[in-house]
Structure 1
Amino acid sequence: MNPTVTKLPSADALLARIPLIGRMLAAMLLLCGGLLALVESRAAILRSGTEVRLRTVPVDPRDLFRGDYVVLAYPMSIVAAAPGEAKGLRRGDTVYVTLARDAEGFSQAKAVAAARPAPGEGEVVIAGRVLSTGACALNEAGQADCGAGAGRLRVAYGLESYFVPQGEGRRIETVSKARIEVVAAVAPDGTAAIKRLLIDGKLVYAEPPY
Structure 2
Amino acid sequence: MKRPVWLFAAAVLAALLQIGFLAWMINARAAILRDGREVLLKVQPVDPRDLLRGDYVRLGYNISALPKTLLETGPDEAELARDATVWLRVRRGEDGIFAPVSLRLRAEAPALAEEEADIRGRVRSGWQEITGTILVDYGIERFYLPEGEGRAIEADMRERSFFMIVAVGDDGQAQIKAFLDGDQRLYEEPLY
TM-score (norm 1): 0.75
Q: C-alpha deviations, 1:12-68, integer Å up to 9, x for none?
A: xxxx8733x554443332222111111100011011101010001232xxx333224
Match of 2:118 among 117, 122, 125: 125
Is residue 75 of structure 1 aligned with residue 25 of structure 2?
no
Secondary structure of the 1:195 match is strand
Which residue of the partner structure matches residue 18 of structure 1? 6
* Structure 2 residues without counterparts, runs of 5 or longer: none
Residue type matched to 1:69 in 2?
Y
Q: Aligned pair in 2 of structure 1 residues 38, 166: CA closer, same or farther (>3 Å)?
A: farther
Distance 1:170 1:80 in 2: 31
User: How many residue pairs get matched?
Assistant: 179
Spell out the pairing of 1:36-115 with structure 2 (5 A cutoff).
36-59=23-46, 63-66=47-50, 67-82=54-69, 84-87=73-76, 88-115=79-106
**CA drift at 1:78:** 0.7
Secondary structure in 2 matching 1:209:
coil
Measure the CA separation in 2 of the matches of 1:189 and 1:85: 24
In the alignment, the residues of structure 1 paired with residue 94 and residue 19 of structure 2 have an alpha-carbon distance, to the nearest angstrom, of 45
Larger Rg: 1
- 1:163–1:24 Cα change, 3 Å: farther
How far off is 1:173 after superposition?
Answer: 3.6
Deviation at 1:96, TM superposition (A): 0.5
2: distance between equivalents of 1:86 and 1:194? 29
Of 99-108 and 80-89, more deviation after overlay is shown by 80-89
Task: Report if the CA contact (8 A) 2:58-2:142 is conserved.
Answer: yes
Structure 1 stretch displaced more, 74-83 or 159-168: 159-168
Q: Are 1:189 and 2:171 counterparts?
A: yes
| 2: CA distance, partners of 1:57 / 1:164 | 16
Contact 1:64 1:72 in 2 (8 A): no
Query: CA RMSD, aligned part only?
Result: 2.3
CA gap of 1:167–1:37, structure 2 versus 1, over 3 A, is farther
Give the 3-state SS of the residue equivalent to 1:43 in structure 2.
helix
For 1:58 and 1:167, how far apart are their aligned partners in 2?
Answer: 16
1:131 alignment partner AA: R
- Whichever structure has more strand as a proportion of its residues is 2
Contact preservation (8 Å) 1:78, 1:135: no
Letter of the 1:205 partner, please give it: Y
Gaps of 5+ in 1: 1-15, 137-148
